[in-house]
Structure 1
Amino acid sequence: MAPVTKQKAAVLSDETVRYKRVKKNGYVRIITNHGSLNIELQSIFLRFCPKAPKTCENFILLCRRGYYNNSKFHRIIKNFMMQGGDPTGTGHGGESAWGKPFDDEFAPGLSHDARGILSMANKGTNTNQSQFFITFRPCKYLDKKHTIFGRVVGGQETLISIEKVETDGDQPKEPVYFMRAEVFVDPFEEAEAEVQKERASLLSKGMLVLRGRVSFCTYLPSDAQKEADAKRDAIAKPKAFSTGVGKYINPQNKRLASDVSFFSWEIVFS
């Protein structure tokens, strides 16, 4: 019987599938008691240059849930940055949208090279949760240490006002609040809708196999294909003319070894 080489379809996580369909940047407005900050999120997924899609989704999810509402920017350092995102206001709290830390996303071409860069605060490598900071000046030495995921595109006067707040060390003497957020563009929501539409189309064609939360496409052999495979196997099976060594050699049709052609095994995908 002819050997069959099987190749399994690659299994992609829902997250990877969605991120590959993100086609635009996200836009969020942070409303503080000093004014508004308009934020552009670097969420576009490029094959060779991912621009922090997971970090952006985390921020958007937390904003949508009201997680940051009425929290404080607990740390402000003039000519450096303002830090927030901790509902406890201590600088020691906060959880990601998934309830656990997630990995850094360092993208080529993104740098803490300007005022108004939005980046993740962390406790070390791959410890991102909910806390973030916004720069008051270029801080390129933070590159590859903190995940950049956005920038301020409107509200520079708000940054100026917050930077002027008097502090005791790095703690503001008067509260600076993240009052609420408005999500204007959520590219992940749009990507999810696209994925669901594609899955519905594949399901209608009987081409999608679902395994828990993981989905992938696989072409299943039809009855006609199975019958053709069976006939092929029957043809490929050699006929025995005797027993023992040489039982497959037809004594009426002896040929030299150099005249014998070998099988080319077909690869079957399933």
Structure 2
Amino acid sequence: GKYHCPVLFTVFTNNSHIVAIKTTGNVFAYEAVEQLNIKPKSYKDLLTDEPFTRQDIVTLQDPTNLDKFNVSNFFHVKNNIKVIDPDEEKAKLDPSYYLKNTNTETRETLLELYKEFKGDDILAATMKAPEKKKVDKLNAAHYSTGAVSASFTSTAMVPETTHEAAAIEDDVVRYQYVKKKGYVRLHTNKGDLNLELHCDMTPRTCENFIKLCKKNYYDGTIFHRSIRNFVIQGGDPTGTGTGGESYWGKPFKDEFKPNLSHTGRGVLSMANSGPNTNKSQL
């Protein structure tokens, strides 16, 4: 995915004017802050509604300011500040990390030693055949697993002589039988909202929303973000705009349809922090 402004939904490029709010850490396109904060003199974070001052607007990238591209003036470069990489620290626990500049003879000796004591176990683990998923008439694909050709061209693969149909993902099989719309009544302190869900076109998104409703996930939540004549956003149990999770506990992919677009009033869609990051907010 690509980073974009959470308000204007414009993708950030090398030519984008990007700013951040120091008090919240949220990042926006400068155009959004200029139009919705600076000009109307309403200094409230566009995501969390937290107040801030004009001095709290930090420029991250300004294509018109050439001094911003001078790396030697960066604070962390001037002060020699480095961020500790946890992956690198973990790699340092392996003694071989410090042997990057060894000569050929030493390298070959260590490799031979490694093979003698560990190599067989590791090779056996990699040669273990993966568990085969049960295939029936419902989830059988029209193409094979490719195991025969792979074993024929690579000696590292387990020999296979029988073509087997690949198994289609369970969700793909289930969703092809969804043909009807879904309906949800949302009770608010301003009245009820009757929602029609396009389950036949966006089944995964609708399943997530309906199952969250069934487990009372949205009970007592608030609309944490409201921009006049633009959008109202909710679905976050923490009420901060940064919380919430999907029914499956992890973000799920976008479901875009050319005939479904968020235009006009009364349209419900998922709210996320970028491509394929849908959770519970709407």
What is the TM-score when the length of structure 2 is the normalising length? 0.42
Greater radius of gyration (CA): 1
Structure with greater contact order relative to length (CA < 8 Å, sep ≥ 6): 1
Bigger proportion of residues as helix: 2
